[in-house]
Amino acid sequence: MSTLEEAKKAVVEEFSMYDEWLDKYEYLIDLGKNLEPYPEEEKTEDKLIKGCQSRVWLDSRFEDGKIYFKADSDAIITKGIISLLIWVYSGREPKEIAEDDFGFISEIGLKENLSPTRANGLVSMIERIKELAKEKAATLDDNVLTAEDAKALAPLYDNVVLALKQVYDPEIPVNIYDLGLIYELIINKRHETYIKMTFTAPTCPMADEVLADVKKSVSDVPGIKACEVELTFDPPWDQSMLSEEARIDLGMD
Q: In 3-state terms, what secondary structure has residue 168?
A: strand
Amino acid found at 56 = V
The yes-or-no answer on residue 52 being catalytic is yes
3-class secondary structure per residue, 175-202: ECCCCCCEEEEEECCCCEEEEEECCCCC
- The 8-class DSSP code of residue 173 comes to S
Q: In 3-state terms, what secondary structure has residue 64?
A: coil
Provide φ and ψ at 69, rounded to 5°: -110, 150
Total Cβ atoms within 10 A of residue 69: 21
Catalytic residue among 28, 31, 49, 52: 52
Instruction: Using alpha carbons, select from 177, 194, 173, 169 the residue that is nearest to residue 251.
Output: 173
Alpha-carbon distance of 224 to 192, in angstroms, equals 6
Alpha-carbon distance of 57 to 54, in angstroms, equals 10
Q: List, by residue number, the catalytic residues.
A: 52
